[in-house]
Structure 1
Amino acid sequence: MRGDFTAGENVRRRYVALGDSFTEGVGDRSAVLPNGVRGWADRVAEKLAKAERGWEYANLAVRSKRLRKIIDEQLEPALAMEPTLITLYAGGNDILDFGTDMEALLNDYELFVARLAGTGATLVLFTGYDVKVSAVLEPFKKRNTQYNRRVRDVAEKYGAVLVDYWCFDAYHDPRMWAADRLHMSKAGHKYLAARVLDQLNIPHKISPKEWDPPSRMTLREWERKQRRWVNDWVLPLFGRKLRGVTLGDSLSPRWPQPVKVPRKGGLKKLMEEANT
Structure 2
Amino acid sequence: MTFTERFVALGDSFTEGVGDEDLLLPNGVRGWADRVAEQLMLADTNWGYANLAVRGKKIGQVLAEQLDAALALQPTLVSLYAGGNDILRPKVDIDELMAAYDDGVARLAASGARVLLFTGFDSAKSAVFGRTRGRTAIYNEWVREIADRHGTLLLDYWRLREFQDRRYWAEDRLHMSTAGHTLMAKRVLEVLQAEDVIAMPQLPALATLSRRAAFAADAQWVRRHLAPWVGRRLRGQSSGDSLTAKYPQLTGLHPVS
Structure-2 residue corresponding to 1:146 = 138
- How far 1:172 moved relative to its partner? 1.3
- How far 1:31 moved relative to its partner? 1.7
Cα distance per residue 1:182-225 (max 9 Å; x no partner): 10000000000001111111111224455465121111110110
Structure-1 residue corresponding to 2:210 = 218
* Correspondence 1:167 to 2:162: no
* Correspondence 1:247 to 2:239: yes
Cα distance per residue 1:138-196 (max 9 Å; x no partner): 33111100011111111111111111111111111111000010100000000000011
How far apart, CA to CA, are the structure 1 residues paired with 2:204 and 2:232? 37
**Does the CA contact (< 8 Å) of 1:125 and 1:155 recur in 2?**
yes
**Does the CA contact (< 8 Å) of 2:20 and 2:29 recur in 1?**
yes
5 Å-filtered alignment, 1:1-276, equals 12-132=4-124, 134-211=126-203, 214-261=206-253, 265-266=254-255
TM-align CA RMSD: 1.7
With normalisation by structure 1, the TM-score equals 0.89
Secondary structure of 1:125's partner? strand
| 2:168 alignment partner AA | M
Aligned length: 256
Cα distance per residue 1:49-105 (max 9 Å; x no partner): 011121100000000001101111001111111000000001110011111111100
Structure-2 residue corresponding to 1:4 = none
- How far 1:12 moved relative to its partner? 1.3
Do the aligned partners of residues 30 and 210 (structure 1) sit closer, same or farther apart at CA in structure 2, a change above 3 Å counting?
closer
| 1:147 alignment partner AA | Y
With normalisation by structure 2, the TM-score equals 0.95
- How far 1:13 moved relative to its partner? 0.4
Unpaired runs of at least 5, structure 1 = 1-9, 270-276
**Does the CA contact (< 8 Å) of 1:56 and 1:260 recur in 2?**
yes
Secondary structure of 1:124's partner? strand
| 1:34 alignment partner AA | P
How far apart, CA to CA, are the structure 2 residues paired with 1:42 and 1:206? 12
Identity rate of aligned residues, in percent? Answer: 47
Unpaired runs of at least 5, structure 2 = none
